[in-house]
Structure 1
């Protein structure tokens, strides 16, 4: 065979060699020459070479570059290396850098340097986990095993620590030789170590182990350990420290906000027998790929270890207690640490949280198993926050009630709002721009944006969008320190964002400002003063109080009302009245008013011509206070006192006090209001309850159409009172500072004709030209 084994063509491509368990064919090599080089004998070496490689029947040629196996299956392999580990072949002097997957044979050595680690896995899957500064010699089987499971040989630990995990199918104990002792372990979890003084330590966490030294054997049971000093017998086994318990649960979530990583604080409860603690954090559950390790001395007020600058990913932590003689206790439960990256769509991520204008939108990668709470209330993922201010977001692992929540600060600030006020013919054009962080106009809509007039300035609504993205409206100036001034404040929600003041030319009269008709919302722009339409009863039971409404006047309003009766013979002035009323706003919430009314009385009912004393006069004072701030829903409290003269009928004359509750609601083109009042006559057991309901339709900003129902009921049981109802329709028109109103009604019910009259009408002329308009 040796003669026929000539240099020949390769039979297959082989992988590039990584160490000396293979031989690369050189030019001129034959089977015999390779056998002599590798094995020292051409005959026996050639047989080994053909047994290890599928070379086929001779004659064949060896092609330069062909890779030949020169060793059988290894006793073990390096299954993990971090970061660099050295190895040495049996009988060799040189050390070389080891590789993951490298085979290890009998008497091969492995050495982990400082902050390094390695895992060696034997054929039967028994694992040896080497800590830093450990030196191990592999003792493989010298003869072939006879049973079905190939047993792994022993190892020799010359220095450092070794964690041994016995395979499930292993039928014999694993042997570990140390300078001071020998260990035969039937344990799935065993830690052995040799320190610089050649002291050997053994900790058994599962099963048992036999420790031998100086001809003496000691059985070490589960959760016990022993020491062996070189040249002495093993010490009596002693219990190991208990496993520490984590503070804050066995799972935590951290959010990664930047590329610098996040720090994780690992805290645990103290163990009674502990002199120190070992903390480890790794990327894998077998704790090979460790990213953090620390020894923490016992007796500290707070037992903790901080893992710095963790990047996104999943980590596993454990801690062990070490007693006073250096025996390492059982590991704690594995704590899972998840570092999740935050991805923002709107908002800027910084070390203190997420900050953005107008709103925040972001997601947390891998957050399917988390619960989210925003300011203490459950919220959904992805997360959206629009409310201006600082908020706290909590992330909790679902199903882990004792887990420590991860908190994230969210800050929403108003966008940049630029307001420009320009005088135009006595009024002001108000231009608003809402800008992003780069100064570009945003499209909207902006439900949170509001404009408010200060110091008597009236801002018309709605804002109207222009082609360049701006919003336009008009403002009427108010008075401040004797000067006509427009003072406009922009608010985002309830947060003021800008205030602009501008003086108005005094000699110019306000004229409309042309604005492109692109409203943001469909709504009537101006408010008609929604006065009740039906007027006072003709019979005089309720006299000259200003007509109740759910809206305060925008300025001082003067009104003249004529209210004749409508009979079969035409107008019946004897059943009518004429009223002059003045009412105005004295503050944002309060309006005061007064009225004087005159009825023709006997003058037109057959009395002496020109007899002024027969004319019936009445007067009143009133006040209204707005209780609510909602722009569409108003509630007011009203009070008026009226005095009817002696010419009135007995049941109408004298003083009446009348508290009332007013409410109104407006939605786009519709408005509804009601008045509930209780009229009293001081000193007399008489009272009446009057109730009014009305609905308005506003097809145009200056026109309102309405319908109403009024009732007047005697409210005191001791005195028989009237019961009268009235229903009617009407309209009001506002032109500049003038208001014109008209209505018609009919009384019905038991006392309807006496109280309200059969048919009657009302004509109202008002003027609000005195004083600056106040915002509604």
Structure 2
């Protein structure tokens, strides 16, 4: 019966410390019914209830007290907890506030708990599967425990807290021992083998069995087996220390709750650990409890699915004898709900942490964040939190004034909004309608300083966007020419990110009024406004020591490009084509990021051997070049490429030039409105020879029209050979490029200067180019 009490699940009767008057009841009949004696019972009724002098009439329904003040009350219960009155056989479901008298019993079932508080505020905290009998003070009692008004523990565990004003020890009777404790914090337990265990954390306790007693001091414990003497008190295990501080903050993004990892440092004497997490600091309302074996370097326990609120955690070590050690510092865990104004809870972000994602921006607040510090990407930020910069960011929340606390991290991802662009023909132009939508498809109001509309193939777009009543933005576009047809082509950019491309053919008389509109997803290669191919202006020198076949374009070509370049020498006698240089080059894209090219150059080889003293034309010496480039960036406004070319000069050249030359180079440039800037940094070397040079080119471009580019260039070539003197030469020049349909025309003029400027670059030289890119359809630059 002690271990499996009979429980009546019938409708619970009213608590039997009162009696409800029935029709026809008198004081005598109630006294006989309740106390078994009319005379003695009537005196008790009058002493417990203010009924006035007899005789008096009892009204049906009147509630009469039939017991004095209880010895204790149940001040906390967590289902399932049952109680049984003294002398009764039925167990009933207990209630918070219920009174307990002498010899009443309380039983906590699995995963349950209860707190019993005596009149003097001494508290007993019952763990699960505990069974106790309450002893009220009895004047005639001779037993020390029963006289003290404490409890008898038949099974399970109790935490006992002695009241400040209690003048005598609290007593606990167990099957194998008796405890009289003057302690504000003591733990006692009885296991299935009737072994009694006592741990004293404050004051001292006297443990008696088989006629002998031991004094158990603070931070010590003992065991008593049934029928045996108490063991010698031994020190209790030390209190574990928390990993990550004594306060943590967790964010609740969804209603399913968050998991909290409770980790602590190992304790040398521990065989296991007992960890608890509760909603109150007295650890009555426990939501998580676990016994963790002492194995490994990092013991821990995970509390699952915690809802919003404040929690308290503690952990104790348990030694090999089963004695419970000192409690750790109480760790406070706050679970705070996140209220999202703009953005949605997304999948786990960077490093697997939870996150919020939104289009255009992310706005949210944290309930109860007054005591928290916020850091966004390592810098302090304010609350509520607003993030507008496109990309993934990390938000850290730290309890204010707790520098060793583990920060709670949140991943915030801001993506460009959805942009819908529609083209409608109006007269000789197009009306451009733009809708900016959030992640739910709702139009956003703006303004949108990051939104840009760029025209392609000569399309001109008015800069202003006018807001309409339906939430859309409106502007006007004038079409350009593509393949002989008038076409309006636009690209929508959000900052530097391409988000949509739209094109429409202008209607003609033979075509239906409605234009053919195609909407294409943004390509991986970011496109800017159509522009001429920005080629190095000056090309290779027309005479001197360096043989270079320049790349046809500074970036990747828009199609396969064939180009003929004529580079005459300029002198006092005027233009000298015979002493110039002619190059035929072909280059094309083989993928979105890679271009390959080849060039054949013809130039007067005898000039490199000391000149033509007879005045005859020099022999023509050919050279061959292979080149390639790889695009490294995707930004339409900033480009970086890695290039490589190899040139072979034949025997018609001098010893300083002939042979193989390899030249890796880094190309970089940026575009801002009608201006562009680029640079080339190359390192040329000849395999098998200790000879190398560093060459640099810097260009500035002005593009007044989409098809016209005007530029200036500064070149330098410096010896990079440690043991031999080489050339130090510079050159500067001006040039222009013009694109007409599939043709490109270019011209430039250059002058060499510096110590070896004339020898390397020539005095004055010019460059004329004619290119054609109609071999294949063009692709975005």
Q: What range describes the TM-score normalised by the shorter chain of this pair?
A: 0.5 to 0.7
Provide the residue aligned with 1:359 in structure 2: 361
1:371 Cα deviation from its structure 2 partner: 0.7
In structure 2, relative to structure 1, the CA distance for the partners of 1:344 and 1:316 (3 Å cut) is: same
1:389 Cα deviation from its structure 2 partner: 1.9
Secondary structure, counterpart of 1:462 in structure 2: coil
In structure 2, relative to structure 1, the CA distance for the partners of 1:555 and 1:242 (3 Å cut) is: closer
Alignment of 1:81-230 (within 5 A): 81-143=77-139, 153-230=149-226
1:501 Cα deviation from its structure 2 partner: 2.5
Distance 1:63 1:449 in 2: 84
1:479 Cα deviation from its structure 2 partner: 5.1
Secondary structure, counterpart of 1:325 in structure 2: coil
Q: Deviations over 1:683-731 (max 9, x none)?
A: xxxxxxxxxxxxxxxxxxxxxxxxxxxxxxxxxxxxxxxxxxxxxxxxx
Distance 1:363 1:116 in 2: 36
In structure 2, relative to structure 1, the CA distance for the partners of 1:553 and 1:338 (3 Å cut) is: closer
Distance 1:144 1:437 in 2: 79
Distance 1:631 1:251 in 2: 53
Distance 1:296 1:555 in 2: 71
Secondary structure, counterpart of 2:40 in structure 1: helix
Is this contact kept in 2: 1:123–1:151, CA < 8 A?
Answer: no
Is this contact kept in 1: 2:76–2:116, CA < 8 A?
Answer: yes
Provide the residue aligned with 2:274 in structure 1: 278
Secondary structure, counterpart of 1:329 in structure 2: strand
Residue of 26, 33, 38 corresponding to 2:29: 33
Segments of structure 2 that go 5 or more residues without pairing to the other structure are 1-11, 349-354, 511-528, 534-552, 556-666, 680-697, 703-713, 715-781
1:444 Cα deviation from its structure 2 partner: 2.1
1:472 Cα deviation from its structure 2 partner: 2.6
Is this contact kept in 2: 1:257–1:351, CA < 8 A?
Answer: no
- Is it true that 1:434 corresponds to 2:430 in the alignment? no
Alignment of 1:594-609 (within 5 A): none
1:270 Cα deviation from its structure 2 partner: 0.6
Alignment of 1:393-408 (within 5 A): 393-408=395-410
In structure 2, relative to structure 1, the CA distance for the partners of 1:636 and 1:276 (3 Å cut) is: closer
Secondary structure, counterpart of 1:156 in structure 2: strand
Provide the residue aligned with 2:380 in structure 1: 378
Provide the residue aligned with 2:620 in structure 1: none
Segments of structure 1 that go 5 or more residues without pairing to the other structure are 1-15, 509-551, 557-585, 589-624, 639-658, 664-677, 679-776
1:587 Cα deviation from its structure 2 partner: 9.6
Q: Deviations over 1:498-521 (max 9, x none)?
A: 11133457999xxxxxxxxxxxxx
Distance 1:61 1:293 in 2: 56
Provide the residue aligned with 1:418 in structure 2: 420
Residue of 335, 339, 346 corresponding to 1:343: 339
1:396 Cα deviation from its structure 2 partner: 0.9
1:442 Cα deviation from its structure 2 partner: 2.9
TM-score by length of 1: 0.63
Secondary structure, counterpart of 1:45 in structure 2: helix
Distance 1:626 1:454 in 2: 23
Is this contact kept in 2: 1:209–1:221, CA < 8 A?
Answer: yes
1:477 Cα deviation from its structure 2 partner: 4.1
1:423 Cα deviation from its structure 2 partner: 4.8
Is this contact kept in 2: 1:426–1:506, CA < 8 A?
Answer: no
Distance 1:270 1:218 in 2: 31
Is this contact kept in 2: 1:123–1:152, CA < 8 A?
Answer: no
Is this contact kept in 2: 1:122–1:152, CA < 8 A?
Answer: no
Is this contact kept in 1: 2:81–2:107, CA < 8 A?
Answer: yes
Q: Deviations over 1:390-421 (max 9, x none)?
A: 22111111111111111112122222211123
Provide the residue aligned with 1:763 in structure 2: none
Q: Deviations over 1:306-342 (max 9, x none)?
A: 1111111111111111011100001111111111111
Secondary structure, counterpart of 1:37 in structure 2: helix
- Is it true that 1:448 corresponds to 2:450 in the alignment? yes
Is this contact kept in 1: 2:80–2:110, CA < 8 A?
Answer: no
Q: Deviations over 1:412-451 (max 9, x none)?
A: 2222211123455554432212234454433322122111
Residue of 56, 60, 64 corresponding to 2:60: 64
Distance 2:452 2:530 in 1: 21
Distance 1:85 1:467 in 2: 65
Is this contact kept in 1: 2:247–2:333, CA < 8 A?
Answer: yes
In structure 2, relative to structure 1, the CA distance for the partners of 1:72 and 1:32 (3 Å cut) is: same
Q: Deviations over 1:504-554 (max 9, x none)?
A: 57999xxxxxxxxxxxxxxxxxxxxxxxxxxxxxxxxxxxxxxxxxxx999
Alignment of 1:595-744 (within 5 A): none
Distance 1:193 1:296 in 2: 19
Is this contact kept in 2: 1:124–1:152, CA < 8 A?
Answer: no
Provide the residue aligned with 1:247 in structure 2: 243
Residue of 264, 267, 280 corresponding to 2:260: 264
In structure 2, relative to structure 1, the CA distance for the partners of 1:234 and 1:151 (3 Å cut) is: closer
- Is it true that 1:294 corresponds to 2:290 in the alignment? yes
Secondary structure, counterpart of 1:44 in structure 2: helix
Distance 2:530 2:73 in 1: 93
Provide the residue aligned with 1:473 in structure 2: 475
Deviates more, 1:224-233 or 1:93-102: 93-102
Is this contact kept in 1: 2:480–2:488, CA < 8 A?
Answer: yes
In structure 2, relative to structure 1, the CA distance for the partners of 1:587 and 1:417 (3 Å cut) is: farther
In structure 2, relative to structure 1, the CA distance for the partners of 1:144 and 1:392 (3 Å cut) is: farther
Alignment of 1:480-499 (within 5 A): 480=482, 484-499=486-501
In structure 2, relative to structure 1, the CA distance for the partners of 1:186 and 1:225 (3 Å cut) is: same
Secondary structure, counterpart of 2:58 in structure 1: coil
Distance 2:128 2:105 in 1: 15
Distance 1:631 1:59 in 2: 108
Deviates more, 1:353-362 or 1:228-237: 353-362
Is this contact kept in 2: 1:17–1:67, CA < 8 A?
Answer: no
In structure 2, relative to structure 1, the CA distance for the partners of 1:222 and 1:637 (3 Å cut) is: closer
Distance 1:341 1:88 in 2: 42
Distance 1:214 1:384 in 2: 72
Q: Deviations over 1:271-294 (max 9, x none)?
A: 000011111111100000011111
Which structure has the larger Rg over C-alpha atoms?
A: 1
Distance 2:160 2:24 in 1: 47
Q: How many residues get paired? A: 522
